[in-house]
C-alpha cells in the first residue's frame, strides 16, 4: 500500500510561528511568576505586622502630642482630646483629676503646644493589642506674661488597641543618658 503524499509547507510559512510561540511562552512564564510574587506579598504576615506597627506609631505620636498640648482659652476641647486619646487607668486618672487640673491651668493662663520630633515603636504584640512607643518632642509653653519656654523631652508610652484603634494607656518620661527610669 502506498502512503499518501505529504503536503510540504514551504519553509517561509513555518518560520514566523517559532518566534511568536517563544514570545508567548516567555510572556506566559513572566505572568505566572509575577502573579505568584504578587500573591505571596499580599498574603505575607510581615506586611500586616508592618501596617499595625505604623498605625501604632502614628496613634502613639499623636496621643503623646495631644497630652502635651493645652490652651487655657479652650480647656474643654483640649481635655476632651486628652480623654479621647487615652484608655484604661490613664484615662481614669485624667478624668478623675480633670476639674482640679483645669483650675490650675486657668489660673496660670498657660498655653502649651507640642511638636513630635521623632518616634519609634519599641515593642508590638499585635495579637494581644499592646504596643510601646518612644516619642521625642518639643513642648513650648507660653506663660501669661508672654514668656516662652521650649523643652525637649522623650516620652515612653504604652498603647492598647480598643475597638480597633490604638490609644495611650500609660505615659511617662524616658530616662536621659545613663539615668534610670523613675
| Residue 179, pLDDT above cutoff 70 | no
| Residue 45, pLDDT above cutoff 80 | no
What whole-number percentage of the chain has pLDDT above 70?
88
Position 39 scores a pLDDT of 82
pLDDT band of residue 13 (cuts 50, 70, 90) is: low
Rounded Cα gap, residues 171 and 58, in angstroms: 15
Position 21 scores a pLDDT of 80
| Residue 131, pLDDT above cutoff 90 | yes
| Residue 111, pLDDT above cutoff 80 | yes
Whole-angstrom CA distances from 94 to 80, 98, 114, 133 are 10, 6, 18, 20
Arithmetic mean of pLDDT over the chain: 89
pTM: 0.74
Mean pLDDT, residues 20-25 taken together: 83
| Residue 55, pLDDT above cutoff 70 | yes
Amino acid at each position: 500500500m502506498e502512503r499518501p503524499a505529504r503536503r510540504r509547507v514551504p519553509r517561509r510559512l513555518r518560520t514566523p510561528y517559532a518566534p511568536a510561540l517563544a514570545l508567548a511562552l516567555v510572556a506566559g512564564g513572566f505572568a505566572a511568576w509575577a502573579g505568584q510574587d504578587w500573591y505571596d506579598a499580599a498574603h505575607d504576615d510581615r506586611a500586616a505586622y508592618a501596617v499595625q506597627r505604623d498605625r501604632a506609631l502614628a496613634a502613639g505620636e499623636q496621643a503623646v502630642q495631644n497630652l502635651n498640648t493645652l490652651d487655657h482659652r479652650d480647656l474643654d476641647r483640649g481635655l476632651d482630646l486628652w480623654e479621647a486619646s487615652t484608655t484604661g487607668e490613664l484615662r481614669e486618672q485624667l478624668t478623675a483629676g480633670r476639674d482640679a487640673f483645669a483650675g490650675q491651668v486657668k489660673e496660670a493662663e498657660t498655653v502649651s503646644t507640642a511638636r513630635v520630633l521623632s518616634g519609634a515603636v519599641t515593642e508590638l504584640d499585635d495579637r494581644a493589642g499592646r504596643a510601646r512607643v518612644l516619642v521625642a518632642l518639643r513642648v513650648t509653653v507660653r506663660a501669661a506674661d508672654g514668656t516662652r519656654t521650649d523643652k525637649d523631652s522623650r516620652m515612653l508610652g504604652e498603647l492598647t488597641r480598643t475597638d480597633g484603634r490604638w490609644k495611650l494607656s500609660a505615659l511617662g518620661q524616658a530616662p536621659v543618658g545613663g539615668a534610670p527610669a523613675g
